[in-house]
Structure 1
Amino acid sequence: MTGEKRIDIRKRGGVSMANNDAPADSVAALRPSYSADLAEGTERFFEARRTDCPWCGSDSLRVRLRTTDLLQHKPGRFVLDECRSCGHVFQNPRLNPAGLEFYYRDCYDGLGEKNINAMFEGNQAGYRSRAELVRGFVEPGTWLDVGMGHGHFCKEAAESLPETHFDGLDLSDGVEAARERGWIRTGYQGSFVDLADDLGGRYDVVSMYHYLEHTTEPRHELAAAKKALRQGGFLAIELPDPECRWARALGRWWMPWLQPQHLNLMPIGNLRAELVASGFTVVAEQRAEPHAAIDLLAASVMAVNALTIGGEDLAWRDTPPGRFRRILRKATFALCVPLFILAGVVDRISAAAGRKRGWSNAYRVVARRTGS
C-alpha cells in the first residue's frame, strides 16, 4: 500500500474519558450533523481489509485485539492485527480519511478541548524528561516539534533549554494559539510530509512525541524528519510500546491501544532497524523512563465509563439521556472513587520495578542523522 494519506488528524498521547463539561446546548447543536454522518452506518469509514503487514509485507497475520471506541464512545468496531513475522501492530481494516475526520472530531478540539488541555497540562515531568534526554547529546539552537498539539511540550522544554528556539508543526489550529501565547517561535500548519522540503536542513532537533502511531505512513514521516534536520541533527521519538506486558494483561482496556486513533504501533526493534536503514545512527533508547504509571487507573476509569456511558449526553446519539441515567452515572463514579485510588496506588507501587521488566507502556529513541 503506497502513497501518503494527508488527513486532518491530531496526535496526542493520552485519553479524555468523557465530555462531562460540554454544555447541553453545544451538544444539541452538533446532534443533527452527527446524525447525518451516521445515517449510512459506519462501514463507509473504513478502507478494505488488507492481507499483508504494512511494515514488512508478510501475510502471516493474527488478530491482536477487537474493541470499540472507549474514548468518545462513537459507534463502530475496530480490529488491531499483529504481524507474526515482525510484531508490527496495525488497525485493520484502517479508517479512511472520512473515518479519521469523524472519529477525531470533538476529541482534541470542540467538545473535548477543555478535558484534553487539562491532561496535557499535567504532564510537565514527562516533557522535562524528554528535553533532558536530548540535551545529553546537543544544546540545540533550533527544535521542531512535529504534532505539537497545543504546544505544551515546547512551553515546558523551554525552561530546560532557554537558548533554544522552538517551532511547532501540526494540522490543527493549536499551532496559531501556541504562537500567540509565545510557546513557539514559528508555527507550521499542515502535513509534515508536504512541508518537509521547505524546512530542509533547518533544525538541530526534530521531535515526534506520540505522533507516529497516529500516522498512516510512518516511514514517510521519518523521511520528512531527515529532510528537516541538518547533517548531524537529532530525531527524538516517543511511542506506546506494543510489547508492554500491561497490553496483554489488560487487553482492550489498555489505554495506549487508543482505538480508533492509533493506526500503527511499532516494536522498538522495528523502529531501530528502519532508522538505521534511513541514514540515522541510534544514540539512545529508553524503555523504562517514559513509563506513565496510569495503566490500572486508566483501565478502571474506562471500564466504569463504558458501563455508565448511557448517562452521558453525547452528540452522536439521537437523544440525550434521561434524568435517572444521568444521576446513576454520577453516583456510580462517586462510589468507584476508592477503586480509582487503589488502582492509582498499585500503578505507582508497581512502576518502579515493573517497568524495568517489560511493563513500561512507552519507549523513547534518539537518533542522529548521519546519512547523506
Structure 2
Amino acid sequence: MSEGKRDRRAARVAALRPRYLADLAAGTERFFAPRRSACPWCGGGRLTTRLRTTDLLQHKPGHFALDRCRDCGHVFQNPQLNEAGLEFYYRDFYDGLGEDRTGATFGGRTAMYRQRARALLPHDPEPKKWLDVGTGHGHFCAAARVVLPGTVFDGLDVTEGVELAEREGRVDHGHRGTLPALASALSGGYDVVSMFHCLEHAADPDAELRAAARVVRAGGHLVIEVPDPASRYARLLGRWWLPWLQPQHLHLMPVAGLRARLERLGFTVVAEQHADAHDPVDLLAAVWLAVDRVAPRDDVPWRAQAPAAPRRWLRTALVLAAVPAMLVATLLDRFAVRPVAARLGLCNAYRLVARREPPGPV
C-alpha cells in the first residue's frame, strides 16, 4: 500500500472510530436476539452446539455460536444477530472501508461466474430476464453476459453496491432492498432468479424462498448455491473453515432439507451439483485465517488506538513468513483435493437448479 493511500485510510479510520466506540460502549450483547430453543427450519427441539468462534475476518468484538438440529441437520446462529447487530457487523465489510478489498476479491472470479451461468444452459439456453439476488457489485452478471449475451441481467442487494453495479453497467437494472420486500413488485417478472451464496446470510431463509417462488415465472428456474454444512472440511478444519463465516452466515442448510423445502413451494429440482459448486480455497483460507488471527491487527476503527509502527512491521514479517505455507495450501486445494473433493465428501458448497412448476388445475 502506498504511503498516500495509507494516510487516506488512516484518516477514514480515525473519522469512523468515535461511532464504533460509541456502539461498543454498552457491550455486544445488545446485538443479539433471544436464544432459540427450537430449530427455525423444522421446529425440532433437539439442538446441540456445533461451533463457538469469533469474527475471524474483520476481528470485530463479539462471540458467536452455531447450533445444529439433530432432527434435520440444519445449522444456525444461536443466538442470532438482530437488526442492530447485522448493521454493525456488516458495516465496512462490503462497502466503506472494505469496498476496495471486496471489489477486488469478487471481481477476479470471472471463470467461476461463467461456470455458474452455464449450469442453467441444459434447462433454459435462452432466458430473457435474470435476477441475481445478493448481487453485490454485479460481477456475476457482467461475467454471465458472455455465456448468455441475449439475456437481461438485473441485480438485487441491500447494499449500495447494487447502485454502483448499475452505474458501471454490470447490471441492466439494480433493485436495492430485500427480496421479500420487493417480491410483489417483481412478481412473475423473471425467467431465472439466482441466489449465489446469499441465502445463508438471510435472517429468515424460508421467507426468501417464498419470495423467490413469487418472482420466478411458471416454467422458470431458481438457481441456489450455498455452503454445505455436511462437508467433511467443516469437521476437519473446525473454526478455520471459511464457509462458517461468522457472524455473517446465519443459516446453513443440508441439501436434503433445501430440496424438500423447494418441492413444498412448487419447484422441481432438476439438477444437484457438488463438485461444480466447490470453490478450492479451504486449506489456503484456513492458513490465512490462522495467520491473521495471530498477527497483530491493522488499524481499524473498532479498536481504540491505531497500532504502533513496530506492531505493523511484526504483522508484515509474520505474513511474509507464512507465504510458503499458503503456497503449499493453494497447490493442495487446486491440484490434490479438487479432483477428488466430491468422492471424499470435501465439497464446500452445493448448487441446486429448480424449475417453478405451473399451478395445478383448480
Q: Same fold (TM over 0.5)?
A: yes
Q: How does 1:85-104 map to 2 (within 5 A)?
A: 85-104=71-90
Q: Is 2:209 the counterpart of 1:222?
A: yes
Aligned-pair CA distance for 1:187: 1.3
Q: Structure 1 stretches (4+) deviating beyond 2 angstroms?
A: 19-22, 354-357
Q: Which moved more, 1:142-151 or 1:177-186?
A: 177-186
> Relative to structure 1, is the Cα distance of residues 350 and 21 closer, same or farther in structure 2, using a 3 angstrom cutoff?
farther
Partner of residue 336 from structure 1, selected from 312, 322, 341: 322
| Unaligned ranges ≥5, structure 1 | 1-18
Does the CA-based 8 Å contact 2:201-2:248 persist in structure 1? yes
Aligned-pair CA distance for 1:53: 0.3
Aligned-pair CA distance for 1:101: 0.2
Amino acid of the structure 2 residue aligned with 1:241: D
Aligned-pair CA distance for 1:356: 3.0
Aligned-pair CA distance for 1:357: 2.4
Q: Distance in 2 between matches of 1:159 and 1:181?
A: 17
Partner of residue 18 from structure 2, selected from 32, 39, 51: 32
TM-score normalised by structure 1 residue count: 0.93
Q: Which residue of 2 aligns with 1:326?
A: 312
Does the CA-based 8 Å contact 1:203-1:228 persist in structure 2? yes
Does the CA-based 8 Å contact 2:95-2:160 persist in structure 1? no
Q: Which residue of 2 aligns with 1:8?
A: none
Q: Which residue of 1 aligns with 2:53?
A: 67
| Unaligned ranges ≥5, structure 2 | none
Q: How does 1:290-369 map to 2 (within 5 A)?
A: 290-308=277-295, 310-348=296-334, 349-369=336-356
Amino acid of the structure 2 residue aligned with 1:93: P
Deviations 1:181-204 (A, max 9, x none): 221111111121011111111110
Q: Is 2:256 the counterpart of 1:276?
A: no
Q: Is 2:242 the counterpart of 1:255?
A: yes
SS class of match (1:355): coil
Amino acid of the structure 2 residue aligned with 1:290: A
Does the CA-based 8 Å contact 1:64-1:81 persist in structure 2? yes
Does the CA-based 8 Å contact 1:72-1:107 persist in structure 2? yes
Amino acid of the structure 2 residue aligned with 1:134: L
> Relative to structure 1, is the Cα distance of residues 21 and 183 closer, same or farther in structure 2, using a 3 angstrom cutoff?
farther
Q: Which moved more, 1:253-262 or 1:226-235?
A: 226-235
Aligned-pair CA distance for 1:21: 9.6
Q: Distance in 2 between matches of 1:36 and 1:257?
A: 28
Q: Is 2:39 the counterpart of 1:53?
A: yes
Aligned-pair CA distance for 1:22: 7.1
Q: Distance in 2 between matches of 1:103 and 1:182?
A: 29
Does the CA-based 8 Å contact 1:20-1:312 persist in structure 2? no
Q: Distance in 1 between matches of 2:42 and 2:327?
A: 42
Amino acid of the structure 2 residue aligned with 1:343: A
Q: Which residue of 2 aligns with 1:200?
A: 187
RMSD after superposition? 1.3
Q: Which residue of 1 aligns with 2:102?
A: 116
Partner of residue 144 from structure 1, selected from 115, 126, 131: 131
Aligned-pair CA distance for 1:238: 0.3
> Relative to structure 1, is the Cα distance of residues 53 and 117 closer, same or farther in structure 2, using a 3 angstrom cutoff?
same
Q: Is 2:225 the counterpart of 1:234?
A: no
Q: Percent identity?
A: 56
Amino acid of the structure 1 residue aligned with 2:249: H
Deviations 1:139-159 (A, max 9, x none): 101101011100000000001
Q: Distance in 2 between matches of 1:69 and 1:329?
A: 18
Q: Which residue of 2 aligns with 1:4?
A: none
Q: Distance in 1 between matches of 2:109 and 2:255?
A: 23
Q: Distance in 1 between matches of 2:292 and 2:269?
A: 41
Aligned-pair CA distance for 1:95: 0.4
Q: Distance in 2 between matches of 1:343 and 1:301?
A: 10
SS class of match (2:114): helix
Q: Which residue of 2 aligns with 1:6?
A: none
Q: State the structure with bigger RCO (CA 8 A, min sep 6), 1 or 2.
A: 1
Q: How does 1:160-175 map to 2 (within 5 A)?
A: 160-175=147-162
SS class of match (1:357): coil
Amino acid of the structure 2 residue aligned with 1:212: L
SS class of match (1:319): coil
Does the CA-based 8 Å contact 1:278-1:371 persist in structure 2? no
Aligned-pair CA distance for 1:113: 0.7
